[in-house]
A and B are shown apart, each in its own frame.
Chain A
Amino acid sequence: MGLFSYIVKRTLFSIPVIIVISILCFGIIQLPPGDYADAYAAVAASAGGSVSQEYIEQIRERYGLDQPFWIQYWRWVKGFPEGDFGIAMSLQGTPVADLLKERLPMTLFLNFSALIFALMIALPIGIFSATHQYSLLDYILTFIAFIGIAIPGFILAVFIIGISIFWFDSSYIGRLYSNEFIGKAWNMDKIIDFLKHIPVPIIAIGVAQTSNTMRIMRGNMLDVLQQPFIQTARAKGLSEPVVNWKHAARIAINPIISRIGVYLPEIIATEMLVSIVLNLNTIGPLFYDSLISQDMYLAGTILLVISIILVIGNLIADVALALTDPRIRFELM
């Protein structure tokens, strides 16, 4: 009962937050001087053509770009309950909702997989590093971790591309599906093909988090191993592996779970950059394009959607923490 009401409470509290964020998002998109019509004209101009002033005004009127901020905001927001997030002016008026539906699942999948990948590798290594502190392997792993943190994801993506081109078949880089499968339904072959394409993006996205988590886990473990209850556990006669995993790691992991809320934005950010470099079919490149063309419905919605994902992610992380740490669970009830 306590946990459920906590979730309900949190969800209710997030609603005003999301509303404020939506205003912020929309506002930020509107900040650059000029509007979509100007951007449109600029693009046309750089392509060598020109657009008449009249046409620009038509665009303005059509999309209501000359209205005051609040009216434009309202026009955007009022469609939400019906799933209408406006239209992407830069993409021939495709409804934003359709674009998102197309790209959101893959984005979520990539982000989620990168997070799991990072945790699954980082946690055991972090534990190992702490229990074998100062050993050669610890130094090597720490060094690798440092490098991993230092190399920004997008550079790593570029780097991996370079290596792959030299050594491997380059057709697996730079996209998520081979040509034959685009637009076709999912079957076994497509899945296998997809799996072949997936490692590069996931690694590029997850590397920084892996390294970071490794270091943090190591630090947590070292802290926890100093605590008196570890000595009690040993005094019972438990073997070192049991002490390390059942007692130490069990506690050391809690701060990391609570930090998942911080990881998510970083992963999403890295994913955006990596996707832009690799030209993947996710939200990142879409966002980038929408910023350049000042397509406010598209950009604003994406920004809002990302923020909502984060709010949900934070909530899930907090619930997960409550589940694993009874102290927090009791505080909530």
Chain B
Amino acid sequence: MRNVIAVFFKRKKSQENEEYIALSEGQLMWRQFLKHRVAVIASIILIFLYSVVIFADFFAPYGMLTSHKFHLYAPPQITKIRFVDSEDKFHLRPFMYRQVAARDPKTLRFIYKDDLKQKDFIHFFVRGEPYTMLGFIKSDIHLFGVGEGKLFLLGTDIIGRDLLSRIIFGGRVSLSIGMIGVIILVIIGTIVGTISGYFGGWIDNILQRIIEIIRIIPQVALWMALAAIIPKEWPSTYVYLGIVIIFGMISWAGLARELRGKVLAIRRSDFIYAAEITGASTSRIIAKHIIPNVLSHIIVIATLSIPIMIIGEAALSFLGLGIKPPMTSWGLLLTQLREVQTLKHYPWLICPAGFIVVSVLCFNFIGDALRDVNDPHSR
């Protein structure tokens, strides 16, 4: 068992009066976590992503569904932002030349050229499309935008929708599915695992068989099969909820199994016997002694399960079995790439994948750091 309290000491300024400060376990773990610089950076990135995604209407230059008829398949303009114009004049405010659409005579695809006569300056906190954010904040101010022209930082898709805006809105779904799904997973997994490990006997046996059976069928196949269950007529919000529930209901087996092992190990500890002898009720023992000891394991497994769900949602939506329009998610945004040619001609459409990879990476780093903090091996 780990030491419950470790002593850190600092030297104070005075020579004789050295003080010892005992830090609580939580503070100790927090400090340890901070030492993993990568995990800290990852946390900052995630906080940033989640903030942007929560206040999507504000951060996105355009609405989720707004299509711009004259700018189909526009390439990303992020490379076209400049400070110096064609006459070598420097402007403090970044700008772009207005894009004019034309059709390439040979391939019949759209190409976009700069209109040197029109400069679109990028302003911050501009007025744009009106929105009702989070159901009650009515406004029309966006973080950035250009007045009359169009600003497609990451390009547009086949019907002229701004990819960046859709990525931001899609992030709401992709990033939240993991979170909510994990809550379901933790609740079911913890209950099953703890009961299994604590009571043992035939309960344990039955639960273990059930877990084994669930684990044998490959998760992805289960996801696909269950996702196919969702009636096609359901509105996209129900589909969303359905997917979240499915994920939670299938993935708890892993957590239950791990927890069972840990609970089983702790079950025979002397301090549990001591609690039993003094007459503590079962629920009290579980709540006050068992759960706090396995809490860190739960947190680690939960954190590492989130990226699995993010990827799972992306896969399902990519295949058309997941999130339905008008909702959008990062996986759904990638559906257009199923046609291999699309990637060749409009490569910017793969950007949502980058966001998936980054968030998965961040969660993995954090989860890894938490696991290290919990149970250091390289000591």
Residues of A within 8 A of B (CB): 17, 20-21, 24-25, 28-29, 31-33, 133, 146-147, 149-152, 154-155, 158-159, 161-162, 165-166, 173-174, 219, 222-223, 226, 265-266, 268-270, 272-273, 276-277, 287-288, 291-292, 294, 299, 303, 306-307, 310-311, 314
Decide yes or no whether B370 CB sits under 8 A from chain A: no
Which of B59-67, B294-302, B353-361 contacts the other chain? Answer: B353-361
Chain A residues, CB < 8 A from B5: none
Chain A residues, CB < 8 A from B344: 162, 165-166
**Are A288 and B319 closer than 8 Å at their CB atoms?**
yes
Q: Apart from A28-B225, A288-B319, list 12 A-B contacts with CB within 8 A.
A: A20-B213, A21-B213, A21-B216, A29-B225, A146-B365, A150-B307, A151-B357, A158-B337, A158-B350, A268-B220, A292-B228, A314-B216
CB-CB nearest in chain A for B227 = A291
Give complex CA distance A301, B326 in Å: 34
Decide yes or no whether B218 CB sits under 8 A from chain A: yes
Residue among B215, B221, B224, B358 with the highest chain A CB neighbour number at 10 A: B221
Which residue in B225, B314, B318, B347 is a CB contact (below 8 Å) of A162?
A: B347
**Shortest 5 CB-CB contacts between residues of A and residues of B:** A269-B220, A265-B218, A150-B360, A150-B361, A291-B228
**Are B357 and A150 closer than 8 Å at their CB atoms?**
yes
Chain B residues, CB < 8 A from A133: 378
Known: A28-B226, A152-B311. A265 touches B219 (CB 8 A): yes
Give complex CA distance A29, B314 in Å: 22
As a 0/1 sequence over residues 302 to 320 of chain B, the CB contacts with chain A under 8 angstroms (1 = contact) are 0000010001001100110
**Are B228 and A269 closer than 8 Å at their CB atoms?**
no
Chain A residues, CB < 8 A from B361: 146-147, 150
Known: A32-B231, A150-B364, A155-B357. A306 touches B343 (CB 8 A): no
Decide yes or no whether B276 CB sits under 8 A from chain A: no
Which residue in A24, A29, A33, A307 is a CB contact (below 8 Å) of B231?
A: A33
Chain A residues, CB < 8 A from B224: 272, 287-288, 291
CB distance from B370 to the nearest CB of A (A): 14
CB contact list, B333-354 vs A, under 8 A: 334, 337-338, 340, 343-344, 347, 350, 353
CB-CB nearest in chain A for B353 = A155
Chain B residues, CB < 8 A from A147: 357, 361
Chain B residues, CB < 8 A from A219: 377
CB distance from B340 to the nearest CB of A (A): 6
Decide yes or no whether B277 CB sits under 8 A from chain A: no
CB-CB nearest in chain A for B363 = A150
- Size of the B side of the interface (Cβ < 8 Å), in residues, is 43
Known: A158-B337, A268-B218, A291-B225. A24 touches B213 (CB 8 A): yes
CB distance from B343 to the nearest CB of A (A): 4
Decide yes or no whether B274 CB sits under 8 A from chain A: no
**Are A165 and B338 closer than 8 Å at their CB atoms?**
no
Residues of B within 8 A of A (CB): 209, 212-213, 215-222, 224-226, 228-231, 307, 311, 314-315, 318-319, 321, 334, 337-338, 340, 343-344, 347, 350, 353, 356-358, 360-361, 364-365, 377-378
CB-CB nearest in chain B for A268 = B218
CB distance from B46 to the nearest CB of A (A): 13
Give complex CA distance A223, B378 in Å: 7
Chain A residues, CB < 8 A from B353: 155, 158-159
**Are A307 and B216 closer than 8 Å at their CB atoms?**
yes
**Are B220 and A272 closer than 8 Å at their CB atoms?**
yes
Give complex CA distance A142, B215 in Å: 29
Residue among B315, B318, B344, B353 with the highest chain A CB neighbour number at 10 A: B315
Give complex CA distance A328, B209 in Å: 21
Chain A residues, CB < 8 A from B358: 150
CB-CB nearest in chain A for B337 = A158
CB-CB nearest in chain A for B361 = A150
Chain A residues, CB < 8 A from B318: 154
Residue among B216, B218, B222, B356 with the highest chain A CB neighbour number at 10 A: B216
Known: A166-B344, A277-B338. A152 touches B356 (CB 8 A): yes
CB distance from B347 to the nearest CB of A (A): 7
Residue among A149, A173, A314 with the highest chain B CB neighbour number at 10 A: A149
**Are A306 and B221 closer than 8 Å at their CB atoms?**
yes
